[in-house]
């Protein structure tokens, strides 16, 4: 269902679903968030729209974000196609490689993924990331040399290297042809 720009979002169905998933009664949720049972009932039936303060209390009580409650079911059933100027591309100052940011911004604290294009002689040097961070490099075209701490290896087309990224590491194209790869970074804590 598409919302009209002047119509506030209906959060009732989402609150009802989340309350039932957590096996909470209306009384229990009312106690957790400090909103009356009758008000919660009206919100769940979409008979009233809650204030921002009430949405915040409900989000806290249900372990969700305000955005989760407002987006409701749409977030689970949406198709988002991004391209062109909306996708950031990081360029090597020397022009030897580009990193196209493929991961959405909301995952940046957990998972990052990129498409790496690297010319012959190009090298991506990285300082250590957070402890227990891992990188997964899948070569799509060409081959790349990976160095992680004291360990190194050549990764050929169709192969994936998995290595610790909580130490100095680098990816280098030592071949005479352009290389293309997917790089997934799983951040440690």
Q: Which domains does the chain have, with CATH numbers?
A: 12-77 (1.10.260.40), 84-186 (2.60.120.10)
Q: Which among 90, 106, 108, 88 is positioned nearest to 187, based on CA atoms?
A: 108
Q: What share of the chain is helix, strand, coil (3-state, %, to 5)?
A: 30, 30, 40
In b/e form, how buried is each residue of 22-34, taking b as 16+ CB within 10 angstroms? eebebeebbebbe
Q: Could you report the per-residue pLDDT of 111-170, keeping only the tens digit for each?
A: 899 999 999 999 999 999 999 999 999 999 999 999 999 999 999 999 999 999 999 999
What does the DSSP 8-state code read for residue 9?
P
Q: Which residues pair with 186 in a beta bridge?
A: 111, 134
Q: What is the pTM of this model?
A: 0.59
Q: Could you report the per-residue pLDDT of 14-46, keeping only the tens digit for each?
A: 888 888 888 888 899 999 999 999 999 888 888
């Amino acid at each position: 269902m598409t919302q009209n720009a002047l119509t506030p979002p209906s959060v009732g169905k989402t609150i009802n679903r989340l309350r039932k998933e957590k096996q909470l009664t209306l009384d229990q949720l009312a106690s957790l968030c400090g909103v009356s049972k009758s008000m919660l009932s009206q919100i769940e039936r979409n008979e009233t729209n809650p204030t921002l303060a009430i949405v915040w209390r409900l989000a806290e009580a249900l372990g969700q974000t305000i955005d989760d409650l407002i987006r409701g079911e749409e977030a689970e059933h949406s198709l988002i196609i991004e391209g062109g100027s909306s996708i950031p591309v990081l360029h090597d100052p020397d022009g030897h490689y580009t990193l196209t940011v493929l991961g959405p911004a909301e995952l940046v604290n957990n998972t990052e993924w990129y498409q790496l294009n690297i010319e012959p002689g190009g090298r991506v040097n990285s300082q250590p990331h957070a402890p227990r961070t891992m990188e997964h490099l899948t070569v799509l075209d060409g081959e790349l040399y990976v160095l992680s701490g004291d360990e190194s290896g050549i990764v050929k087309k169709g192969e994936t290297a998995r290595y610790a990224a909580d130490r100095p590491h680098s990816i280098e194209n030592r071949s005479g042809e352009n290389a293309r790869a997917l790089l997934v970074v799983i951040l440690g804590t």
